[in-house]
């Protein structure tokens, strides 16, 4: 049995300006086993954070939303906020914006103390302070910051406090949305190693492919609100090669764009005319029956005859004969 599972999630938001509903997540299904470390990748606006927040019921419910979210065998999708509150300590998230994740009216010491008390309500004050001091040391939070408000901290300091607060709760499942984005290079690996070591089941959302490839067991690739590929870590052959083999047309293009910028990260300037972008823009997320990658595949030269099927039929996420990956594509075999 999976620890947490999403089944055919469809998520809608009402766009007030356009006065219409946008279909943000389309038939998204993922499963996460106990002890699994997974990474979600995709360009900005593809639905990564919306999926993460939907799993934890942190987004408003729309009357057109459908699907199931199974946690330890129980569907928590229809549960009320009062019912779900009992699960909050077990299902946690590290937000992309470190400032928004902290109560701006509370000092750092009170933020950490509250988290420790929530997890261990029977601890006495000296024991709580001992645990708080341990969090300071583990996450390299300077003692002089204990009595400061979040607004008095830097972005990196806020992120470390936010991570320490979540880790104090010892969640069963943690979603880390860009967990090391504002941290110095010297501490990024240290924080990721702590997360991987201390959190049994972890979902990491990141644009940093080095972090994703190094610390996760399974990669989920998203495009325009749909999961296009799920790839498990394999044995690199030869050892210096990539341990993930991504074969969906969008996945390949995403990886090639990352490699392009990695190869040129030390250059002073970049000729923008040379860049072959992942996609010109995310397609408008209306109700659609076909594959949302159809315009990308058209630019890649797929014939009109084949594209007609892509426009009329939504591809199932399924295993193919040439790979163990799950792929949502009519023409990858």
User: Domains along the chain?
Assistant: 4-90+171-265+274-328 (3.40.50.300)
**Is the pLDDT at 119 greater than 60, yes or no?**
yes
The one-character DSSP state at 291 is -
Residue-level pLDDT at 111: 96
pLDDT in tens, 266-315: 554 444 344 344 444 455 555 567 888 887 777 666 777 778 888 888 88
Span 137-150, average pLDDT? 92
The values of phi and psi at residue 34, to 5°, are -60, 130
Q: Angle 155-168/125-138 helices, nearest 10 degrees? A: 130
pTM of the model: 0.86
Residue 325 CB burial class (10 angstroms; 0-12, 13-18, ≥19): buried
**Mean pLDDT throughout 179-202?**
87
In angstroms, the CA 148 to CA 160 distance is 14
What is the residue-averaged pLDDT of the chain?
85
Q: Provide the residue count of the chain.
A: 333
Distance between CA atoms of residues 3 and 73, nearest Å: 8
pLDDT band at 27 (very low <50, low <70, confident <90, very high): very high
Q: What is the pLDDT of residue 287?
A: 57
pLDDT, position 124? 94
């Amino acid at each position: 049995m999976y620890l947490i599972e999403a089944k055919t999630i469809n998520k809608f938001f009402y766009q007030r300006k356009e006065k219409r509903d946008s279909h943000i997540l389309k038939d998204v299904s993922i499963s996460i086993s106990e002890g699994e470390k997974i990474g979600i990748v995709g360009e900005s606006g593809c639905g990564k954070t919306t999926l993460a927040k939907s799993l934890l019921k942190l987004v408003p419910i729309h009357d057109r939303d459908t699907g199931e979210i199974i946690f330890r065998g129980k569907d928590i999708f229809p549960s009320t906020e009062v019912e779900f509150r009992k699960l909050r300590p077990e299902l946690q998230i590290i937000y992309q914006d470190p400032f928004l994740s902290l109560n701006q009216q509370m000092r750092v010491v009170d933020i950490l103390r509250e988290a420790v008390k929530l997890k261990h309500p029977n601890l006495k004050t000296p024991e709580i302070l001992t645990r708080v001091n341990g969090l300071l040391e583990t996450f390299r939070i300077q003692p002089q910051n204990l009595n400061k408000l979040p607004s008095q901290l830097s972005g990196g300091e806020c992120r470390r406090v936010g991570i320490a607060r979540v880790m104090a709760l010892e969640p069963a499942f943690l979603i880390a949305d860009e967990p090391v984005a504002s941290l110095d290079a010297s501490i990024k690996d240290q924080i990721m190693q702590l997360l991987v070591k201390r959190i049994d089941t972890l979902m990491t959302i990141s644009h940093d492919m080095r972090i994703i490839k190094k610390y996760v067991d399974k990669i989920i690739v998203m495009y325009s609100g749909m999961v296009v590929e799920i790839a498990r870590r394999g044995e690199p052959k030869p050892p210096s090669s990539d341990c993930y083999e991504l074969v969906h047309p969008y996945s390949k293009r995403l990886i090639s764009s990352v490699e392009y910028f990695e190869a040129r990260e030390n250059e002073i300037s970049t000729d923008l005319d040379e860049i072959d972008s992942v996609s010109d823009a995310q397609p408008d997320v209306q109700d659609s029956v076909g594959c949302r990658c159809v315009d990308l595949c058209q630019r890649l030269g797929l014939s009109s005859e084949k594209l007609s099927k892509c426009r009329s039929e939504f591809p199932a996420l399924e295993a193919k004969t040439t790979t163990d990956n799950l792929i949502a594509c009519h023409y990858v075999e």
